[in-house]
Structure 1
């Protein structure tokens, strides 16, 4: 089964021009081009477009989406990650809906409002709860103050540094390097130094963060977009580094 570019654009809520742009970037090639010059897309292309749209909703720019699609060749595994992210978002939106309903009801009835009810589901600091529960409120507030103190350029440079580290991890994995090898542990030291800008990581903090990279799809996608399995590889490397160099003292 296949669909014309006009059909796909209409159903996706986008334009034929956008789909042609995706094709020019190598993101979404048509399955065939008719004698009339029209582009047609089969089921595989349809699934690929779904992945592109999902990644766009996560806020990834097109170059980053290209990296994700190149790195995640296992479509089923990629869709499972997307599904987990969507389910988390559904829970958050469900909390928002319930919050607004409660606010509306209490406003109409003249009842007293509770802040935790009104603001439930509107967290602008999406990792605040995880960080606070794992490492304490002070750790979160210190990191939050540091991040807010940076200029836009400093924030971008900090993020670019992390991307470079993640790419080096992904390349080491592709090259068949072991997590405990000297080459990979040198990259892991850069990861440690990158984290040390905001906190002095203990062994449990460092290895626990590595576990979070795999357990939480929001983290996993940031690593696995450079290559399938990168997040797990980073976790293993961080565990080795923690055992060799760090303490909880």
Structure 2
């Protein structure tokens, strides 16, 4: 007895996947999803392999990849299992970050509605080992392998500080309290009054990094504060929209330092 091989016409596949026939025709035209074969009547016919490929295409399109990017990914060296595992892991990481941001937003909303006080001191508690490892991995992936050496240097430098990480966090708290006050008083990011506080922030980074925090390094730190959702959420807890003001102030201070050089 022969095993029946299920095949679907372009219209059937479109209905099953929730896409248009025109979309499938376009995918065929650009070589992204070719049918298994074309019947004698000229109908495109799709089998299991094509259905799974379409599912992958839809996964990647859902996160904003272009058709060219999807094509390069599908035709790259990794097999489907590797690709899907990586995609799943990225989505899980994004989901965890999103959940943390939602928790922070809920706390901020409750605070603004007078329903609860924010435990701002929690922001200055040194990270757990797991969270620290997570950030170190993100930094290395984001800024390249040289970052791993910089992280090791920074860890050694922090250990040499009089009160270690706890002391550094206390210094950061005192600086940020005054920066938030300046922001909430309506000072522009580039205001002259901000620069002494920002210079203290830069000096703290020099101590924590174990090397000079240059103007470029300080501007790079500002970029980092805007590129990771955890940092954005952290500064939103200090004050709504402070996550945009602080990096702008840091970049303005970096410009001032370059002008002094």
Calculate the TM-score normalised by the size of structure 1. 0.47
TM-score, structure 2 normalization: 0.45
